[in-house]
Amino acid sequence: MLESETYDSEIRNEFSTADSKRVIDSFVSFCSDVGIGGLINFTGGDPLLRVDIYELIAYARSFGIKVGMFGNPFQVNDDVAERLKKIWC
């Protein structure tokens, strides 16, 4: 089996929480510099598999950035939906 078939490379090379926040900071700075609002879409496979996804969404929202999510909805249940609602709205 090839490494790409097991997703090992993606897991090893995934951005850390700190790296992800630096990307968000850079995006917020860019949006401010050019005078536009911003939108970040978290995607994947399933972004809800990231243990820090709620933290990253809340971080982006704290700057007024709109946030979307695309991926596999398999992980969404009532608890997840309620948690997302609290940080999204």
pLDDT, block means (10 residues), the chain with 89 residues: 61 88 98 95 87 95 94 87 88
Q: SS3 of 54, please?
A: helix
Residue 30: predicted pLDDT: 97
Helix intervals (H) in 1-89: 3-6, 8-12, 17-34, 53-61, 78-88
Note the pLDDT of residue 6: 65
Full-model pTM:
0.84
Name every residue whose Cβ is closer than 8 Å to that of residue 42 and which is 6 or more positions away in sequence. Answer: 53, 56, 57, 67, 68, 69, 70, 71
Which residues make beta-bridge pairs with 66? 39
